[in-house]
Structure 1
């Protein structure tokens, strides 16, 4: 099982999630804050897939197009146990009072794995701050 990973931080939109869910199952809902390198879903093809779930629909030619409603699947609700089961050796589980998230980590990245040009850089770990 491979992951869909956010390559841009921001607030996820239903427009972007609708196109992303065609490739696999999502872990996030519209309006969720995401950061660069966060794992946002799963898919079945080899290699991690970098996606932008923060893009907005272009506002061109608004009058000619009716407002189309987007039908989204319910995001996967995963527990701490599920996250620990899913992660691989180059990934982390982030636990906060509001959420449980998974992300890529450059310090634990597999050698030769070049399908993602970026990794989560926004994490501050207790082990790093105690030094």
Structure 2
């Protein structure tokens, strides 16, 4: 789908970007892949969107925070997080921040609103802004500032759901998606071309689920009154670059082309993923 698809073309584009984008750093000595260092998710997302519009096709892995070692101790960047939300949703926000290793330092109530102050690892904020908008129904304000490096806070489990992974190539059908939407949230609409290993949605509970979005309704020559029901589909959650960077996991790639943005597994086949899981 892209006009520029080779590693050489992408490398040359990033070399030009580094000259004018002072906040960007690229490691050109990392083999076939290129490590890009930026100032947060939005900074990287803007670069990727510009390249997409210029005709580049590329795959990116999950963003990671830079971890350092100072005096033999593992440390990571922390931020002071300030949140203003309506009082009725403050409990949900506090619960989500605590799961991301945030520690509340202050809380003030006034006129039905609550101001919350946290110290939280930068890792904990990756992918949270979209969830914050959903939890507060767009009525919350969130801002943060870096306060320095502190002791590594430990593992952070951000997602409590698995991926819905296509096991067949072809065109997604409404009947198949109608049955799958009960399992979780869909990222695609009927008529979208899918391939094996492509992530087409998330599963509300449990691990990754291999599904067949190309399966049609079984046709027979028998008709019965009331046997045909209208298919009602919930609108799919559109995956753009910024949202893709938020919801992807460490075993996903975000596939970016001038025509589409897709999530896929690093290992496309179920057999390869099963083998990797046993290692």
Partner of 1:85: 246
1:7/1:118 contact within 8 Å kept = no
- For normalisation by structure 2, the TM-score amounts to 0.38
Partner of 1:76: 237
Distance in 2, Cα, partners of 1:68 & 1:44: 25
| 1:45-124 matched pairs, under 5 angstroms | 45-64=205-224, 66-106=227-267, 116-117=270-271
Coordinate RMSD, CA, aligned: 1.8
Partner of 2:76: none
Gaps of 5+ in 1: 108-115, 120-131
1:12/1:30 contact within 8 Å kept = yes
Gaps of 5+ in 2: 1-160, 274-279
1:37/1:118 contact within 8 Å kept = no
Instruction: Give how far 1:62 is off.
Output: 4.4
Question: Which stretches of structure 1, 4 residues or longer, exceed 4 Å deviation after superposition?
Answer: none
Instruction: Give how far 1:78 is off.
Output: 2.2
- Determine which structure has greater relative contact order: mean sequence separation of CA pairs < 8 Å that are 6+ residues apart, divided by chain length: 1
Tell me: CA distance 1:118–1:6, structure 2 relative to 1, closer, same or farther (3 Å).
Answer: farther
| 1:15-30 matched pairs, under 5 angstroms | 15-30=175-190
Distance in 1, Cα, partners of 2:272 & 2:222: 35
Q: Please list the CA deviations of residues 35-85 of structure 1 after superposition, one character each: whole Å capped at 9, or x if unmatched.
A: 000000012222101110100101114433654210000000122011111
Quick check: which one's helix share is greater?
2
Distance in 2, Cα, partners of 1:118 & 1:16: 25
Q: Aligned residue pairs: how many? A: 111
Distance in 2, Cα, partners of 1:26 & 1:74: 8
SS at match of 2:176: helix
Quick check: which one's strand share is greater?
2
- For normalisation by structure 1, the TM-score amounts to 0.77
Higher Rg of the two aligned structures: 2
Distance in 1, Cα, partners of 2:245 & 2:174: 28
Instruction: Give how far 1:32 is off.
Output: 0.6
Q: Which of 154, 165, 174 in structure 2 is aligned with 1:5?
A: 165
